[in-house]
A and B are shown apart, each in its own frame.
Chain A
Amino acid sequence: MTATPRTSATHGTGRPAAAPVAAAPRAAAPRPTGGRAGLLAATVVVDLRSSFRNAEFAVGAVAVPVLLYAMFGLPNASSQLPGGTRVGLAMLVSLTAYGVVSLALFTFGENVAKDRGRGWFRTLRATPFPTGVYLAGTSLTAAVHALLIVLSTGLLAALAGGVRLDVGEWAAFAALMTAGVLLFSTLGFAIAYLARPRAATVVANLLFLPLAFASGFFMPLSELPDVMGDIAPYLPTFHFGQLAYRLVMPDADVAAFTGAATQPVAVHVAWVLGSAVLLGAVALLAARREAVTRRG
């Protein structure tokens, strides 16, 4: 060993031995980012484009509710419930609500889990881009996807199923479904941070199927085992469905179609909002715990 390197924290002396590449300094200009709102909007645009490049998304998130409606809604569309509501409308609500909850758990939750697993959030944390803004952007993207589900399933129901709602009812229905995906994205978010990234899909499936069946999205609760009806009132997705049915159908037809007695609207709202707050808090705690563990 003949080298006598310094072992202190002093600095090197020479400039590089290799000739530096001649390059004119390129000044960067201050660029308006639009603040957090600008970053949010940019995230939504990029995330939307990204989602439409993904064929699995188009089929899984948007086409499945449409296909289910075509298979199960259209054949019964002209039948009527005792209060005069067309079954085609009730099925539209069921399958759109199914699509929205599925979107929140699978598309949103699974994507967050994948991004977390592959280290994208770690990469992002090394930049000034706030991870929370990015996540909020992906939630808003899911809301746009929810509108697409409403639009595509609604168009099929209106054109082929004879479903008629006035403009205000369509708007209220679309607004509720959009709000639904934002509220249930807290559940997707929680799964993404509580489950190991590779297990997130399995966990989401384990939760989603009972939620969808016990909320009466696939068939009336009266046609399912009693236990489904017993647990339904404790599920936020059931209450979300009830809100959606009651937006466009009389109470008697809601009860006839779902096989569950109606409750005051405030009860349904409280369940949906309360669960969103609780799950959101759980997800934030899990994300914070992970950040603290990583930072040490």
Chain B
Amino acid sequence: MGAVLELDDVHKEYAGVPALDGLDLAVEEGELVAVLGPNGAGKTTTFELLLGLARPTQGRVRVLGGRPGAQRGRVGAMLQGAGLPEQVTVRELVGLVGRAYPRAHRTDDVLARTALTKHADKVVTALSGGERQRLLLAMALVGAPDLLLLDEPTAAMDVASRRAFWERARESVADGATVVFATHDLAEAQGVADRVVVLADGRVRADASPDELTHHGRDDLEEVFLTLTQERTSAGPDGEDR
């Protein structure tokens, strides 16, 4: 199995402020990887680099063997705070985005898979937070992506929706996709991911399976996380992630 994405010694600065400071990460095909980190750790910046929405100040980023953005037809993404047009229905939006992918699932199949069938004719403004997140997931899945990049995908979801969401994500992994997701929810990372990457201050602080991180459950993941990031729990004054 080859690396689906690689970041080698990646640095990224915004107006002289470092967001990433020598990030090294590689993810192989079929993995389900959780990226954890306090606010400002660099999670969102990492996703933006992988999607080609931002360029590294220094270092090398490869996605599916090419430069980021070159393989958008094989990548599905859910961005944090993603914007949507307001008066468009769920079915229209998923269908429209799906048309741009070289291989795509049928819109109705994706809506069924994301439990949106009964909301298909609702406009975006009529959706609840969880439904909106599922719509974003549907838009990410419709192109039958080889790589799914999900930035805090379950942030607005209730427990049942989260569970269903991760079932859908696992189906994608079963279909052969690689999934990388950012989250603040440690239990979610522990329960869902094959592998957990902890970022702090723009660098990888830990990279292991949940079992390894907690010494087979002997340690509490929250304590492990706080220890790994305690010198770095530097949520910016605005609390925003970078």
Interface residues of A (CB under 8 A from B): 1-18, 20-21, 23, 25-31, 33-34, 38-39, 42-43, 46, 49-51, 53-54, 114-115, 117-123, 125-130, 294-296
- A23 to B109 alpha-carbon distance, docked (Å): 13
Closest 4 CB pairs of A and B: A12-B195, A119-B83, A28-B144, A5-B206
Most chain A CB within 10 A, of B12, B73, B93, B195, is at B195
Could you say which residues of chain A place their CB within 8 Å of the CB of B97?
Answer: 127, 129
User: Cβ of A7 and Cβ of B205 under 8 Å apart?
Assistant: yes
User: Cβ of A29 and Cβ of B103 under 8 Å apart?
Assistant: yes
Beyond A1-B224, A26-B109, A30-B103, whether A49 also contacts B143 by CB under 8 A is: no
Cβ distance B224 to chain A, nearest Cβ, rounded Å: 4
Could you say which residues of chain A place their CB within 8 Å of the CB of B98?
Answer: 31
Most chain B CB within 10 A, of A34, A121, A126, A294, is at A126
User: Cβ of A42 and Cβ of B99 under 8 Å apart?
Assistant: yes
User: Cβ of A12 and Cβ of B79 under 8 Å apart?
Assistant: no
- A42 to B194 alpha-carbon distance, docked (Å): 39
User: Cβ of A16 and Cβ of B193 under 8 Å apart?
Assistant: yes
Partner of A11, one of B13, B105, B139, B195: B195
Partner of B12, one of A7, A33, A296: A296
User: Cβ of B31 and Cβ of A20 under 8 Å apart?
Assistant: no
Is B120 interfacial (CB 8 A cutoff)? no
Is B185 interfacial (CB 8 A cutoff)? no
Most chain B CB within 10 A, of A26, A27, A42, A43, is at A26
Contacts A13-B209, A127-B139 supplied; 5 other A-B pairs, CB < 8 Å? A23-B170, A118-B84, A125-B53, A127-B101, A128-B73
Cβ distance B149 to chain A, nearest Cβ, rounded Å: 8
Cβ distance A62 to chain B, nearest Cβ, rounded Å: 16
User: Cβ of B83 and Cβ of A14 under 8 Å apart?
Assistant: no
**A53 to chain B: closest residue by CB:** B87
Could you say which residues of chain B place their CB within 8 Å of the CB of A3?
Answer: 206, 212-215, 219, 224, 227
**B193 to chain A: closest residue by CB:** A16
Cβ distance A145 to chain B, nearest Cβ, rounded Å: 14
User: Cβ of A127 and Cβ of B212 under 8 Å apart?
Assistant: no
Could you say which residues of chain A place their CB within 8 Å of the CB of B103?
Answer: 28-31
Could you say which residues of chain B place their CB within 8 Å of the CB of A30?
Answer: 102-103
- A50 to B101 alpha-carbon distance, docked (Å): 22
Could you say which residues of chain A place their CB within 8 Å of the CB of B54?
Answer: 294-296
Is B108 interfacial (CB 8 A cutoff)? no
**A28 to chain B: closest residue by CB:** B144
Is B24 interfacial (CB 8 A cutoff)? yes
User: Cβ of A50 and Cβ of B87 under 8 Å apart?
Assistant: yes
User: Cβ of A33 and Cβ of B84 under 8 Å apart?
Assistant: no
Could you say which residues of chain B place their CB within 8 Å of the CB of A49?
Answer: 88-89, 92
8 A Cβ contacts from B70-110 to A: 72-73, 75, 77, 79, 81-89, 92-93, 95-105, 109
User: Cβ of B84 and Cβ of A10 under 8 Å apart?
Assistant: no
**A57 to chain B: closest residue by CB:** B87
Q: List 8 A-B contacts (CB under 8 A).
A: A6-B208, A14-B194, A115-B85, A125-B53, A126-B51, A127-B139, A296-B13, A296-B57
Is B171 interfacial (CB 8 A cutoff)? yes
Beyond A9-B26, A16-B194, whether A296 also contacts B209 by CB under 8 A is: no
Cβ distance B240 to chain A, nearest Cβ, rounded Å: 14
Could you say which residues of chain B place their CB within 8 Å of the CB of A13?
Answer: 209, 212
Could you say which residues of chain B place their CB within 8 Å of the CB of A11?
Answer: 26-28, 31, 195, 207
8 A Cβ contacts from B1-53 to A: 12-14, 24-28, 31-33, 51-53
Q: Which of B59-67, B152-160, B172-180, B231-239 contacts the other chain?
A: B172-180
- A29 to B191 alpha-carbon distance, docked (Å): 32
User: Cβ of A39 and Cβ of B77 under 8 Å apart?
Assistant: no
Beyond A2-B215, A127-B143, whether A12 also contacts B196 by CB under 8 A is: yes
Cβ distance A141 to chain B, nearest Cβ, rounded Å: 12
User: Cβ of A25 and Cβ of B85 under 8 Å apart?
Assistant: no
**A36 to chain B: closest residue by CB:** B100
Partner of A5, one of B31, B213, B218: B213
User: Cβ of A16 and Cβ of B87 under 8 Å apart?
Assistant: no
Could you say which residues of chain B place their CB within 8 Å of the CB of A2?
Answer: 215, 218-219
User: Cβ of A12 and Cβ of B194 under 8 Å apart?
Assistant: yes
